[in-house]
Copies of this chain bind each other. A is one copy, B any other.
Amino acid sequence: MGISDRKEREKQEMRKLIISAAMDMFIKDGYEKTSIRNIAEKIEYSPATIYLYYKDKDELFYEIQREAFDHLHAYFALHATAADPMERLRQLLKAYIEYGIANPDLYDLMFILRSPMKAMQDEDFWDNCNVSFQFLIDTIGAAKDYIRFSDPAQAAMIIWGLGHGIISLSIRGRMKVTRMDEGEQAALVQSALQEFMQIIQK
């Protein structure tokens, strides 16, 4: 049936239209201003129409999260390229933190906000996150003989935890407690990470 094919195509195009409008607003105006009503206005449809394509806001945000993870993975692939495994791991951690601080709203969606996780099975987050997560696992796997952790899973936990911790403290303003200005802060983070990588190296 040619018509139902076209209908299906149009449905996918509409979903895509909604998602990209939402993604744009997310990046430009942040999470708080990305409302169903604002998205609807931007694409010149009524708010109710969005509910014909997405069950609720959480499901919509879940789809934007998928796009965000693709975006992050592309950044990893571009910046963690060294042949030497240990150097590649260093680059990956640096790229992660740079990405998070440069794209705080997308980072929120991927790693902080509750909304995209709500309407989700356990497997769904795995689907979205996995390509990026696997990048970390593989990089640590390649470096495993050069780091002082007996188990790569432990190393992954520590490195991800550390990276996420620094990004999220930073983008949620909690580094204020150090009473440093942003420049000092960034310098301290960088030198601390440098030493950390040195310390965990065999």
The complex places the Cα of A113 from the Cα of B113 at a distance, in Å, of: 10
- Protomer copies: 2
Once the chains bind, are A148 and B199 in contact (CB under 8 Å)? Answer: yes
Asked whether A77 is an interface residue with its Cβ less than 8 Å from the other chain, the reply is: no
Per-residue B-contact encoding for A99-122, CB less than 8 Å = 1, 0 else: 000000000000111100100001
Once the chains bind, are A125 and B173 in contact (CB under 8 Å)? Answer: yes
Shortest Cβ distance from A185 into B: residue: B157
Supply 22 A–B pairs (Cβ within 8 Å), ascending by A.
A112-B112, A112-B172, A117-B172, A122-B179, A125-B174, A126-B179, A129-B174, A149-B192, A151-B195, A154-B195, A155-B192, A157-B166, A157-B188, A158-B193, A158-B196, A161-B165, A161-B169, A162-B165, A164-B168, A165-B168, A168-B168, A199-B199
Asked whether A200 is an interface residue with its Cβ less than 8 Å from the other chain, the reply is: yes
Question: What is the distance, in angstroms, from A103's C-beta to the closest C-beta of chain B?
Answer: 16
Shortest Cβ distance from A166 into B: residue: B161
Q: A168-B112, A168-B164 are in contact. Are A157 and B200 (CB under 8 A)?
A: no
Asked whether A53 is an interface residue with its Cβ less than 8 Å from the other chain, the reply is: no
Once the chains bind, are B112 and A176 in contact (CB under 8 Å)? Answer: no
Contact pick for A157, options B113, B125, B168, B192, CB 8 Å = B192
- Return chain B residues, CB-CB under 8 Å to A169: 111, 160-161, 164
Once the chains bind, are B174 and A165 in contact (CB under 8 Å)? Answer: no
Asked whether A12 is an interface residue with its Cβ less than 8 Å from the other chain, the reply is: no
Asked whether A17 is an interface residue with its Cβ less than 8 Å from the other chain, the reply is: no
Asked whether A49 is an interface residue with its Cβ less than 8 Å from the other chain, the reply is: no
The complex places the Cα of A197 from the Cα of B193 at a distance, in Å, of: 16
- Return chain B residues, CB-CB under 8 Å to A125: 173-174, 176-177
Shortest Cβ distance from A30 into B: residue: B114
